[in-house]
Amino acid sequence: MIKKEVAHIRKQFKLDHDMMNINDILNVYIMKESNEVYHWERQAFALVDREKQELYMGNFKKLLTGELDQKLFELKFLEEAVEPTRVLLHQGLATGDPEEWKDLMLLLVDKMLVDVKYEQDTVVTFVRGQYFRPTKGRNEEAEESGKDEMFANPFILCSVNSTEKQKKTLLFDYVEREFKYNVIVDPIIKLSSPEQGFFYPSVTDNYSDVNRILYCTAKSNYPDPHFIEQVLNAERSMTAMEERAIFEDIVKEVAGEQLDVATLAQVYEEIHQVIEINKDEEEPPKLDYKDVERVLTISGVENVTTEKVERAFQTIIDDRNYEMKASSVMPKFTSKSIKIDTKVATISVSPQDLKYVKQVNYQGRRCILIEIDEDAVIEGFTLSTEIL
């Protein structure tokens, strides 16, 4: 699944959208004290109040928002799972009976309650429906557009949301002309900030892929291993943060602990070029040991050999043929995603501007030197330029 495919699906979650139909919704309320289902409610989505529909749509869009391998993870199902979730979801996708679908989703909720203690009352929301994709792009010269010919893609979405108690407030009653102490015991369901969930099936080359599922989490780079393995029965994938740490360790193994800024800037530039060249490909570009060797050699790292890089892969990750996603191993190229931490200050700089930063020795002291095109301004005061 690639970023454009996620974005296409997310954009369909709008009221009265002709490319999205939601058939049924099921809400399940879990009590934190007993860790049991307190109440469930299933109904046709079309019968839900419009105000509630808008809240749900915002919840679903928020769930599907985030970077791949950071908040969104495409996962493979485990083959050896007992009572696999893949079967429950596939049956739920295929059945035309809303009651059978509800029973299947409640079985999935039962799996969510095993060996888990919720800190707050929790609401699990399931919806099922279908979204549509054109079978071909629009042909401006043709009388009818590609939009006239559609693929219907059935799906199941799940959103897990915690609750919070409402704050005690002081109200003014206009009729009685008096101040009143107001306590509302009904909890608020935090639909605007879903904790985790999933979208099934995933998408590969614009086609539904029932062998994969898109897992979503609110905690960037911290997917819930219990939910992934025990609830979804899926194989946990590497996060972008983990792959970046692996890449850094491999570079240190090959080039040593110290790297000058110009070389590091060139490494990021080369990887960025790989991403840009392959940005229209269906699969995101990956780096194997041969690619890493090429990047380090072009960037000016000395004494780089195939054997040395291959051995580094084997040492760090125990797999000489491992491939890292190019987008995962470097910070965002155009944003100030690199932090230079010193005792005096923390400096933020983008990978594309890292080439303007140097660590120098000035009168026996280490200093950070930053090349700038304009005068620096501090608290409204323009700094004077000293000649060293």
What is the chain's pLDDT, residue by residue, as a tens digit (388 residues)?
A: 678 889 989 999 999 888 899 999 999 999 998 889 999 999 999 999 999 999 999 999 999 999 999 999 999 999 887 789 999 999 999 998 999 999 999 999 999 999 889 999 999 999 999 998 776 544 434 444 444 567 789 999 999 999 998 888 888 989 989 998 887 778 889 999 999 999 999 987 778 889 999 999 999 999 999 999 999 999 998 999 999 999 999 999 999 888 888 999 999 999 999 999 988 777 889 999 999 999 999 999 999 999 999 999 999 999 999 999 999 998 888 899 899 998 898 999 999 999 999 999 988 999 999 998 888 898 899 988 888 7
Q: Is 259 left (phi over 0), alpha (psi -120 to 50) or beta?
A: beta
Distance CA 301, CA 330 (A): 17
Distance CA 156, CA 92 (A): 8
pLDDT score recorded for residue 135: 63
Backbone angles phi, psi at 345, to 5 degrees: -160, 160
Q: Is 66 left (phi over 0), alpha (psi -120 to 50) or beta?
A: left
**Are residues 113 and 35 in contact, defined by beta-carbon separation less than 8 angstroms?**
yes
Structure-derived torsion over alpha carbons of residues 283, 285, 288, 291, reported in degrees to the nearest 10: 150
**Are residues 357 and 339 in contact, defined by beta-carbon separation less than 8 angstroms?**
no
> Cα dist. 105→18, 93, 108, 303, 355 in Å?
26, 11, 5, 57, 53
Distance CA 195, CA 159 (A): 8
**C-alpha closest to that of 45 among 19, 66, 20:** 20
pLDDT score recorded for residue 205: 75
Amino acid, single-letter form, for residue 131: Y
**C-alpha closest to that of 165 among 140, 184, 141:** 184
**Are residues 118 and 160 in contact, defined by beta-carbon separation less than 8 angstroms?**
no
Backbone angles phi, psi at 216, to 5 degrees: -125, 140
- What would you measure as the largest C-alpha separation in the chain, in angstroms? 85
pLDDT score recorded for residue 207: 81
pLDDT score recorded for residue 127: 97
pTM for this prediction: 0.86
Structure tokens at 103: 């029973």
pLDDT score recorded for residue 260: 87
Distance CA 272, CA 264 (A): 12
